[in-house]
Amino acid sequence: MTDPATTDALRAVFNLIDEPWLPMRRRSGVVEHVQPWRVTEGIADDPFAAFAWPRPDFNGAAHELLIGLLSTAAAPEDDEEWKNWWRAPPAPDVLRERFATVAYAFNLDGPGPRFLQDLDALEGAEGKVIEALLVDAPGAQTLRNNADLFVKRGGAPVLSRAAAAMALFTLNAFAPSGGAGHRTSLRGGGPMTTLVVTDHPECGATLWGRLWPNVETREQVEARATGSKPEENPGTVFPWLIPTRTSDSKAGGRSTTPADVHPLHVYWGMPRRIRLLFEEAGDRRCGLTDARDSVVVPRYRTRNYGANYSDGFQHPLTPYYRPKATSVEKLAVHPNPGGISYRLWPGIVVPTKDNLREPAQVVRQWPERSTRALRARFVAFGYDMDNMKARAWLEAEWPLWNFDEDVKERLRGFIHRAAAGADAVTRLVTGAVKSALYDRPRDADGDYGFIAERFYRDTETQFYAALGQSVSMIHAAPDNDDPTLEVRRRWAPVMEKAALLLFDEYAPPDALENRDMHRYVKARFYLALALRGHGKNGKSLFVRDLDIPSPESSRPRGRKKEAI
């Protein structure tokens, strides 16, 4: 076999700015592989509308890569300049000129620095099959135990250079814990990404409308700098241009802090030490895309103790939270079991009541850029990770309203109360199902989170309808201290109906332990009581969570309780 090092030296360099490697789908449905600077090509007639990778995590990461590239090489000076390129998107040649200024950092192979790869060739380091680069690939223990039941080994024996580049970026962006010294991403393992998406007033839905609303201005980049104005040092932006800042304490390594790097580094974090190994393809095709490439990547080398990013980094595309009011550092939000639904709106769309959770910078800055005529959407995605194991890729898209500050504040109050009420109802119905099925519900085996997930999915349409009604109420009664009260009153029976349907579905009488009908009737009876505002749990739901009067608190003294 030909020595890979010799072959690399003879082959033309694969540069991610110059090569047509990104799959993009036009509005007409045609898929083309293009250079990143061609993203605005044909935008008036048949624009690119989406990325077209065969994996959703690649598509999500491709958004981050292009947003990072635009923020690094083509950032507007301020919001006014941002609006100029929104009204009249730049021609591909303009972007090509801007991107060319950083092309030196985007060689995937060749004798010099390589995109997102260790400057050291890592000779003698551990070698791995290329499919191990995928976040959801089965780990070594899973393979030893022959437990790869759902994600099988051997699915991608080789990758094309394009797929390998995207896999490399995706891993570094979302990197989970990978064992001793194999570091997580700059935002921790499996962070959540949130984007603002909007249609162009003349061109409609475009990929440009999924990217440009999330691009930082130079002012915003400088505002994120720690200390003085950031120096334009390429090595502090693109870490693969300089020797790896290792985190091996035995070798004098230390953590990487925001003060050690340029603010743009957040888009190009490199926690993993990796070197791709290239071979002539022969008759082999890419295991992911089935594309032909003259060169493929069958393996890579890796070494532990790469960059260990400390707390304190603020990625513009990620929401953050403080564990408690006295905490100074903010931690990145991560997707959790149960999916991404409106239950998470407090904290990723609007700040929470206690201000411990706040939306991503791109969401907070959007009102300053938009007008009411711009109808925006909110996209959230990321991996639900269980330490080193990827449980699921989660993704959701919602409408995003833009109002003046007074309307927004009142609408925020409705969102907090409606979401708190829904959260309380999911706990009530889950507890009732377990109480009906088991004599000792606290000892019930298994994860019942699917009940809450179903509840949010079943009530999502009604939540958006209630949100729209709240907006109308706020505009119709600007002097009303609580204009959404009636909407919240109507939201309670919507939740009640959904919860009882779920109870009847997941606790059918023929599934009862020991056929205990008394336990079943009691569980349903007390669930119905609470959902209508009666009893301790019901009063808490109505008064504390929804902030509406409970039947018990509003009933005249001496009046008998209504029949349930």
- Provide DSSP, 338-365: T-S-GGGHHHHTB--TTSSEE--HHHHH
Listed residue (263, 229, 261, 230) closest to 361, CA to CA: 263
Residue 539: pLDDT above 50? yes
Residue 366: pLDDT above 70? yes
Which residues, 6 or more positions from 230, have their beta carbon under 8 angstroms from its beta carbon? Answer: 221, 222, 236, 262, 263, 264
The reply to whether 408 and 285 lie within a common domain is no
Last residue of a domain, one of 285, 303, 321: 303
User: Which pLDDT band, with edges at 50, 70 and 90, does 556 fall under?
Assistant: low
Strands 389-400 and 273-280: unpaired
pLDDT above 90 as % of the chain:
67
| Mean pLDDT of all residues in 72-91 | 94
Q: How many angstroms separate the Cα of 124 from the Cα of each of 2, 113, 127, 228, 275?
A: 18, 19, 8, 41, 11
The range of the structural domain enclosing residue 256 comes to 4-303
The reply to whether 73 and 190 lie within a common domain is yes
CB 512 within 8 A of CB 520: yes
The reply to whether 134 and 281 lie within a common domain is yes
Q: How many angstroms separate the Cα of 142 from the Cα of each of 136, 147, 447, 473?
A: 12, 5, 22, 55
Q: How far is CA 456 from the centre of its chain?
A: 18
Mean pLDDT lowest among 25-34, 158-167, 443-452, 547-556: 547-556
CATH classification at residue 410: 1.10.132
pLDDT for residue 225: 86
User: Which pLDDT band, with edges at 50, 70 and 90, does 554 fall under?
Assistant: low
CB 203 within 8 A of CB 43: yes
| Mean pLDDT of all residues in 525-550 | 95
In angstroms, rounded to a whole number, what is the distance separating the alpha carbons of residues 434 and 441? 5
In angstroms, rounded to a whole number, what is the distance separating the alpha carbons of residues 488 and 414? 8
Is position 347 within any domain? Answer: no
pLDDT in tens, 491-520: 999 999 999 999 999 988 776 666 678 888
CB 529 within 8 A of CB 539: no
The reply to whether 299 and 441 lie within a common domain is no
At 193 the three-state DSSP class reads: strand
In angstroms, rounded to a whole number, what is the distance separating the alpha carbons of residues 357 and 349? 10
Rg of the Cα trace of the chain? Answer: 26
Angle at 67 between CA 64 and CA 72, to 5 degrees: 120
Is position 290 within any domain? Answer: yes
Is position 464 within any domain? Answer: yes
For the chain, helix (H) and strand (E) counts, in that order, are 17, 13
Q: At what angle do helices 405-437 and 517-531 cross, to 10 degrees?
A: 170
| Highest averaged pLDDT of the listed ranges 405-419, 500-514, 517-531 | 517-531
Distance between the two ends of the chain, CA-based, in angstroms? 80
pLDDT for residue 232: 67
Query: Residue 445 corresponds to which tokens in the numbers above?
Result: 């085996």
Residue 419: pLDDT above 60? yes
pLDDT for residue 502: 97
Mean pLDDT lowest among 198-207, 243-252, 482-491, 546-555: 546-555
Residue 47: pLDDT above 70? yes
Q: Model pTM? A: 0.90
In angstroms, rounded to a whole number, what is the distance separating the alpha carbons of residues 317 and 334? 12
The reply to whether 288 and 407 lie within a common domain is no
Last residue of a domain, one of 253, 275, 303: 303
The reply to whether 285 and 415 lie within a common domain is no
Is position 328 within any domain? Answer: no
Is position 324 within any domain? Answer: no
pLDDT for residue 370: 78
Last residue of a domain, one of 303, 321, 352: 303
pLDDT for residue 479: 84
Residue 563: pLDDT above 50? no
Is position 380 within any domain? Answer: no
pLDDT for residue 139: 52
Residue 375: pLDDT above 80? no
User: Which pLDDT band, with edges at 50, 70 and 90, does 562 fall under?
Assistant: very low
CA-CA-CA-CA torsion sign (123, 126, 131, 133): negative
pLDDT in tens, 290-336: 999 999 999 999 999 999 999 889 999 999 999 998 888 899 999 98
Dihedral of CA atoms 48, 53, 56, 58 in degrees, nearest 10, equals: -100
Indicate the average pLDDT of the chain.
88
pLDDT for residue 367: 84
| Mean pLDDT of all residues in 364-373 | 78
CA-CA-CA-CA torsion sign (308, 313, 316, 321): positive
User: Which pLDDT band, with edges at 50, 70 and 90, does 555 fall under?
Assistant: low
Q: What is the residue whose two structure tokens read 């998107």?
A: 89
Beta-bridge partners for 395: 381
The reply to whether 96 and 232 lie within a common domain is yes
CB 288 within 8 A of CB 154: no
pLDDT for residue 156: 84
In angstroms, rounded to a whole number, what is the distance separating the alpha carbons of residues 234 and 510? 67
CA-CA-CA-CA torsion sign (132, 379, 313, 420): negative
Is position 147 within any domain? Answer: yes
User: Which pLDDT band, with edges at 50, 70 and 90, does 388 fall under?
Assistant: confident
pLDDT in tens, 230-258: 566 899 999 999 999 998 888 888 999 99
Query: Residue 334 corresponds to which tokens in the numbers above?
Result: 């991560």
Which residues, 6 or more positions from 224, have their beta carbon under 8 angstroms from its beta carbon? Answer: 263, 266, 314, 316
In angstroms, rounded to a whole number, what is the distance separating the alpha carbons of residues 368 and 307? 35
The reply to whether 560 and 428 lie within a common domain is yes
Q: How many domains does the chain have?
A: 2
Is position 396 within any domain? Answer: no
Which residues, 6 or more positions from 383, have their beta carbon under 8 angstroms from its beta carbon? Answer: 57, 135, 136, 174, 176, 190, 335, 390, 391, 392, 393, 394
| Mean pLDDT of all residues in 378-390 | 88
User: Which pLDDT band, with edges at 50, 70 and 90, does 286 fall under?
Assistant: very high
In angstroms, rounded to a whole number, what is the distance separating the alpha carbons of residues 505 and 495? 15
